[in-house]
Amino acid sequence: MANQEAFIEKITASYQPKGSFIYLGAGILEGHILAEAEVNLALKMMNRHGLIAGATGTGKTRTLQLIAEQLSVANVPVFMLDVKGDLSGLHQAGTSNAALEERGEALGKPFSPMGFPVELYSLSGALGAPMRLRVDAFGPVFLGRILDLNETQTGVLSVLFQYAEDKGLHLIDLDDVKKLLNYLDTPVGAAEIKDSYGKISSSTSTTILRKIVALEQQDIGVIFGEPAFDIHDLFEKVDGQGVISLLNISDLQSQPLVFSTFLLSLLDQLFSNLPEVGDQDKPKLVFFFDEAHLLFNGASKAFLGKIEQIVRLIRSKGVGVFFCTQAATDVPDTVLGQLGNRIQHALRAFTPNDAEALRKTAKTYPRSDFYEIEQVLTSLGTGQALITVLNEKGVPTEVVATHLTPPRAVMGPLDAEAYQALVKGSPLYAKYKEAVTKNNTLDVLDERLAKQKAEEQAAEAAKSRARASRSSSTQTPMEAMAKSASRTLGREGVKFLAKLGTAIIASLIGTKRRK
Ligand SMILES: Nc1ncnc2c1ncn2[C@@H]1O[C@H](COP(=O)(O)OP(=O)(O)OP(=O)(O)O)[C@@H](O)[C@H]1O
Ligand SMILES: [Mg+2]
């Protein structure tokens, strides 16, 4: 009992921010849920980023959901990657059931259903407003990653992008990149780029072209084009509630490289376009990256460097980023070190690798008077997590095993009809649904090639005219005919002599043999 009191006192002291906060749930000690030990996350600290980790089915996605819901109520817009297509239910108030009632009771807060403003986006355009980006905004490093280029080939792409920028050429979709690559492989283009930027080998161009075509064959080309997504649309608010923008990539699950790179590029654009705001009472936007291991798997050093840089710098723009993945060890140390708020769901220790990951994860937690960290991590139930966040002074809070509050909206997808109604009813869907192609900045390349061809043809014509006039000035038509006839005779004569020679040699050999 004394232990419980000490626990409640410590948790309450550690998790009572002065400003607005998100209520995550209540502390658990020795198997008891202690409703008084409220666990809160200060909105002020959400731009210090976070990690939500845990084995499959332990409640990670619903933790994302409950945080997103409360951000929306606090008038903070949210962007979420919906990998499995099971977050659209956020739009619809949940219905109570025994499990939810019980959870509410345990926490001393009755379940209160609510729906939220949701915008649906999709990369293919099939499951929401198409979210497109221009190739030149995407940039060579990201394009190189989705094309699976090596460093040399990515370097060539960088040169290509630089050239386009210097010459005022827009690269809007993949056709534009192909056109520029083809142009720079012609003698005119090659000479032009060689002078200012160095030679591009034909084989590298061909490889890049081949990979672009392969990407197009998988229908990935549609993510590039216009109208490009305007990042300011992520900051919408409706009736004092932040809009939750969901990017549903359930139809692109087999292309993790594509959607994870696309998202990183979106973050990059946020970072490049938003003004510095310093520390604020609440974030301007929170970005949730579910299934984040897909972002880090097989990433090159350059790409990891880019993630690390964006995460580090976007904080001062008022944007928080929360990664959600199975094991904390999925996240590289340089990024992990910047994730101040940690919500760790249960871990399993089935295999030696699991045990190793468990040990490593436990080590990253501050010491606790109340728990044996490794033991707690393996015994948490669904919808429970071991938490430590940053308090308003930026100091890590007391580690606490937490029984999480339930989300208020439906925990799953909307039904097909409601889903389509939500998509089609959105003004943003109307804004983005049709792709337009009106890039004429590259016409100059055609003109240059046409001019070059015309010049070559003119030069060729001038040459043959000169030849013709040379021969007509020295010979009469009769003389020309006579010359041509003697040339033909001459050729026939040579052939005749060669035949004669062969016959003589053959007869000589034949004589010898007969001897
Ligand atoms: N906070 C919560 N309140 C009520 N129920 C919850 C909560 N968290 C999780 N659950 C229950 O647990 C189920 C699994 O949770 P969830 O889908 O979030 O797991 P996950 O860790 O994201 O799994 P996966 O790794 O497979 O994506 C939910 O469908 C829900 O029924
Ligand atoms: Mg999940």
pLDDT tens, residue order, the chain (515 aa): 669 999 999 999 999 999 999 999 999 999 999 999 999 999 999 999 999 999 999 999 999 999 999 999 999 999 999 999 999 999 999 999 999 999 999 999 999 999 999 999 999 999 999 999 999 999 999 999 999 999 899 999 999 999 999 999 999 999 999 999 999 988 888 988 888 888 889 999 999 999 999 999 998 999 999 999 999 999 999 999 999 999 999 998 888 889 888 988 998 999 999 999 988 999 999 999 988 988 888 777 878 888 999 999 999 999 999 999 998 888 999 999 999 999 999 998 889 988 988 998 898 888 899 999 999 999 999 999 999 999 999 999 999 999 999 999 999 999 999 999 999 999 999 999 999 977 788 888 888 888 888 888 898 889 988 888 877 655 554 455 445 544 544 555 445 445 655 554 555 455 444 43
Where do the structural domains in the chain lie, given as residue ranges? 2-131+229-421, 135-222, 477-515
Omega of the bond leading into 366 within 30 degrees of 0 (cis): no
Candidate CATH numbers 3.40.190.10, 3.10.180.10, 3.40.50.300, 3.30.70.1560; the one for domain 2-131+229-421: 3.40.50.300
Within 10 angstroms of residue 23's Cβ, the number of other Cβ atoms is: 16
Å from CA of 323 to ligand 1 middle: 16
pTM score, whole prediction: 0.86
**61 CB near ligand 1 (under 6 Å):** yes
Query: Which atom in ligand 1 lies closest to the alpha carbon of residue 406?
Result: 3
- Among protein residues, the one with the nearest Cα to ligand 1's atom 31 is 411
Probe target for ligand 1 pocket from 28, 56, 61, with the most ligand atoms within 8 Å of CB: 61
State if residue 70 touches ligand 1 by the CB under 6 angstroms criterion. no
What letter would DSSP give residue 436?
A: B
Around ion ligand 2, residues with a beta carbon closer than 5 Å are: 60-61
**62 CB less than 6 Å from ligand 1?**
yes
Say which ligand is closest to the CA of 62: 1
Residue 8: other Cβ atoms inside 10 A: 18
Identify the nearest ligand to the CA of 63 by its number.
1
Report the residue among 28, 33, 62 best suited for mutation to probe ligand 1: largest number of ligand atoms under 8 A from its CB: 62
d(CA 126, CA 251): 8
Cα angle 324-369-360, degrees, rounded to a multiple of 5: 40
Residue 65 C-alpha to ligand 1 middle, in angstroms? 10
What is d(CA 250, CA 273) in angstroms, rounded to the nearest whole number? 28
CB of 48 sitting under 6 A from ligand 1: no
98 lines ligand 1 (CB under 6 A): no
Does the CA dihedral 377-381-382-385 come out positive or negative? negative
Q: What pLDDT does residue 472 have?
A: 63
Indicate the burial class of 296 (C-beta count within 10 angstroms; 0-12, 13-18, 19 or more). Answer: middle
Does ligand 1 have an atom closer than 6 angstroms to the CB of 10? no
Please check whether residue 309 is in contact with residue 332, taking contact to mean a CB–CB distance below 8 angstroms.
no
Atom 25 of ligand 1 has which residue's CA nearest to it?
56
Contact in structure between 72 and 243 (CB atoms under 8 Å): yes
Report whether residue 404 contacts ligand 1, using a CB cutoff of 6 Å: yes
Q: Is the CB of 77 under 6 A from ligand 1?
A: no
Whether 54 lines ligand 1, by a CB cut-off of 6 Å, is yes
88 C-alpha to ligand 1 centroid (Å)? 15
What is the Å distance from ligand 2's center to 155 Cα?
Answer: 36
Question: What is the pLDDT, as a whole number, of residue 195?
Answer: 84
Whole-number Å distance, alpha carbon 412 to ligand 1 midpoint, is 10
Q: How far is the CA of 216 from the centre of ligand 2 (A)?
A: 30
Q: Cα of 64 to ligand 2 centre, how many Å?
A: 9
85 lines ligand 1 (CB under 6 A): no
Q: What is the DSSP letter of 23?
A: E
383 lines ligand 1 (CB under 6 A): yes
Q: For residue 326, how far is its CA from the centre of ligand 2 (angstroms)?
A: 9
Query: Which amino acid is present at 467?
Result: R
Q: How far is the CA of 322 from the centre of ligand 2 (A)?
A: 14
Task: Tell me the chain's radius of gyration from C-alpha atoms.
Answer: 34
Residue 391 Cα to ligand 2 midpoint, Å, equals 27
Question: What pLDDT, on the 0 to 100 scale, is given for residue 481?
Answer: 47
